Amino acid sequence: MNAAFKNRIIVGLGKTGLSVARYLHSVGVAFSVVDSRMNPPGLAEFTREFPLAPLTLGEFPAALLRDADELIVSPGISLDTPAIRSAIEAGVAVTGDIDIFSKAVNSPILAVTGSNGKSTVVSLLGAMARAAGINVAIGGNLDGAEAAPALDLLRGEPRELYVLELSSFQLETTSMLGARAAVILNISDDHMDRYASVQDYAAAKQRIFRGCQHIVLNRDDVLTEPSGADSRSVSSFGLDAPASDVWGVLTQQGRTFLARGNTVALAADEMKIAGKHNVANALAALALGEAVGLPVTAMLEALRQFPGLPHRCQWVRVHAGVNYYNDSKGTNVGASIVAIESLGELATGKLVLIAGGIGKEADFSPMLPVVARFVRLAILIGRDAGRIAAVFKHSVQVVLASSMEAAVQLATENAQPGDVVLLSPACASLDMFTDFAHRGRVFTQAVEALS
Residue 445 backbone phi and psi in degrees, to 5: -65, -40
For residues 367 and 30, what is the distance between their CA atoms, to the nearest angstrom? Answer: 49
Q: Of the residues 15, 116, 191, 323, which is catalytic?
A: 191
User: What is the residue type of 388?
Assistant: I
| Helices within 360-428 (DSSP H only) | 368-374, 385-392, 404-414
Q: Is the dihedral of CA 169, 175, 178, 183 positive or negative?
A: positive
Q: Of the residues 118, 214, 311, 350, which is catalytic?
A: 118
- What's the full length of the chain, in residues? 451
Active site annotation includes 191: yes
Complete edge-to-edge strand list for the sheet that includes strand 32-35: 55-57, 32-35, 8-11, 70-73, 93-95
For residues 96 and 93, what is the distance between their CA atoms, to the nearest angstrom? Answer: 10
Quick check: 98 and 150 in contact, CB under 8 A? yes
Q: Of the residues 15, 116, 141, 329, which is catalytic?
A: 141
For residues 152 and 101, what is the distance between their CA atoms, to the nearest angstrom? Answer: 9
Which DSSP category does 34 fall into? E
Complete edge-to-edge strand list for the sheet that includes strand 314-319: 314-319, 322-326, 420-423, 351-355, 375-380, 397-400
- Across 147-186, b (16+ Cβ under 10 Å) vs e yields bbbbbbbbeeeebebbbbbbbbbbbbbbbebbbbbbbbbb
User: What is the residue type of 367?
Assistant: M
The Cβ of residue 107 has, within 10 Å, a number of other Cβ atoms equal to 13
User: What is the residue type of 339?
Assistant: A
Helix, strand, coil percent content, the chain, rounded in steps of 5: 35, 20, 40
CB contact set of 100 (below 8 Å; sequence gap of 6+): 1, 20, 23, 72, 151
Active site annotation includes 118: yes
Could you give the residue numbers annotated as active site? 118, 141, 191
